Amino acid sequence: MKLNVRLRPIGFVAALLVMWHVAAKHQATPILPGPLAVAEGIAELAQRGLLLKYIVASLFRVTWGFATAAILAIPLGLAIGWYRRSEMALNPLIQIFRPISPLAWIPISILWFGVGDLAAIFLIFLASFLPLTVTAMNAVAGIPPVTVRAGRNFGLSQPQLVYRVLYPAVAPQLIIGLRITLGIAWLVVVAAEMIAVNSGLGFLIVDARNAGNRYDLVVAGMVMIGVIGLLLDIGMRSMENVKSLRWGYSED
């Protein structure tokens, strides 16, 4: 039974590949490349040394932008959620900036940082910072007040209250927020690379389109973006499994 469950995704992907191949074979205008042509395009990129280069470039930008946002946004969000006066003062400002698309900052990022890695990292930072801040704020707001009062009644100091009560209570929701935000960051880096840099998977798509009829490389870039996004999501989901074993209770 378990084997059948594991084989279902493989069978579904195989069926999609077959349908893709048939659709590419019978299209009136040969624009959409088939899976074999895309596989050959990926192999060509690998032989030219571009595939690994572009993947590393995209992951480099996502890592720096996402990690910097997490390091700054999570403590800020926890502090704002923990101290109600801070929430009353800063929450309106956060809600004003939150609906603004990170892509709207592209002209400003290029003006500030020029065309290069810093502009793309800045856009990823913006895309990750506010969602993580709001996630941390909501995680603190979701802590039952009786839990905090119980910790204080047991004589826990403020640092102990944060470590023994606040952190275990918000960690599960923070992991979910990190997983969702990482997906947003991966989307933004592709869009940023189409405009602000000259490397990465987003740049590959634009460069292949401008090169002429290299739609095999365009789709190859799309496939690699999807595969890497899936692997990143699997990695974050594995963190959820770890926290389910270690969090949710505190040691004596």
- pLDDT higher than 90, residue 25: no
pLDDT at res. 248: 45
User: In this predicted structure, what is the pLDDT of residue 1?
Assistant: 53
Are 35 and 21 spatial neighbours (Cβ–Cβ below 8 Å)?
yes
Q: What is the pLDDT of residue 238?
A: 80
Q: Which residue has the higher pLDDT, 146 or 191?
A: 191
Distance of alpha carbon 201 from alpha carbon 106, whole angstroms: 18
Mean pLDDT of 14-27: 78
246 pLDDT above the threshold of 90: no
> Is 101 within 8 Å of 187 (Cβ atoms)?
no
- Domains of the chain, earliest start first: 49-246 (1.10.3720.10)
User: In this structure, are residues 176 and 211 in contact, taking their beta carbons and an 8 Å threshold?
Assistant: no
SS3 content of the chain, % helix, strand, coil (to 5): 85, 0, 15
Calculate the CA dihedral of residues 99, 104, 108, 114 and round it to 10 degrees. 130
| 155-207 pLDDT per residue, tens | 666 666 766 777 777 888 888 889 899 999 998 888 888 877 788 898 888 88
Tokens representing 199 are 């490397």
